[in-house]
Chains A and B, each alone.
Chain A
Amino acid sequence: SQQGEEDPQALSIQEGENATMNCSYKTSINNLQWYRQNSGRGLVHLILIRSNEREKHSGRLRVTLDTSKKSSSLLITASRAADTASYFCATVSYNTDKLIFGTGTRLQVFP
């Protein structure tokens, strides 16, 4: 099945540091999305990158996509305590709308 894997599973950093999370997937995709989940809350969409894009920025977020390696990375620069959450990548294949989620990375940012 097309299931993504993320690493690391957990990441602890200090405020101001950068956080990098990686995601790998198995099949061809139309786009890849990153979501954040705060404890006990729903998933919040962060950024979407299409299969023909290599890099995308949104505020303090930078996403890269390497379709040859079937991998993506999410970089959060100058992290804040409020960035503490679980982060998930999710892929969308052609001819479907469903999201296939990765296993997630738990990020802890200490003040």
Chain B
Amino acid sequence: EAGVTQFPSHSVIEKGQTVTLRCDPISGHDNLYWYRRVMGKEIKFLLHFVKESKQDESGMPNNRFLAERTGGTYSTLKVQPAELEDSGVYFCASSPREAIPYEQYFGPGTRLTVT
């Protein structure tokens, strides 16, 4: 079974540019989560999809961040325009819905560097 995949693995962009991160969850997992770890700080929750619906987006830092999950499969996280403080590692995770509580399966992350 393929795990959670994320693309790209690393992105370097200039301040003011736009970047789109992609996450492909494990097939059949309804839940999809985005987290990020900015430099030197803890991993923080950004948002949670159940299928294509946003269940919880309380962690989204501001309106420069836009997450979508059209069709309830893969998800994208767009940052527009990127700022220096957006640099960090963005993780995606997925989980099934059958049993609660359940573990989340994480992807390898996308390292975003804003210069």
Residues of A in contact with B (beta carbons under 8 Å apart): 3-4, 30-31, 33, 35, 40-45, 48, 50, 88, 90, 92, 96-104
Contact = CB atoms under 8 A, between A and B. Distances in A.
Given A88-B43, A97-B55, A98-B48, A40 B108 contact: yes
Given A48-B103, A98-B59, A103-B42, A43 B48 contact: no
A48 B101 CA distance: 9
Contacts of A33: 103
30 contacts: A3-B42, A30-B101, A31-B101, A33-B103, A41-B108, A42-B3, A42-B106, A42-B109, A43-B43, A44-B106, A45-B104, A45-B105, A45-B106, A48-B101, A88-B43, A92-B101, A96-B56, A97-B31, A97-B33, A97-B95, A98-B45, A98-B56, A98-B58, A98-B59, A99-B35, A99-B43, A99-B104, A100-B45, A101-B35, A104-B42
Interface residues of B, number: 25
Contacts, number: 57
A43 B106 contact: yes
B81 to A, nearest CB: 27
Nearest to B56: A98
A35 B104 CA distance: 10
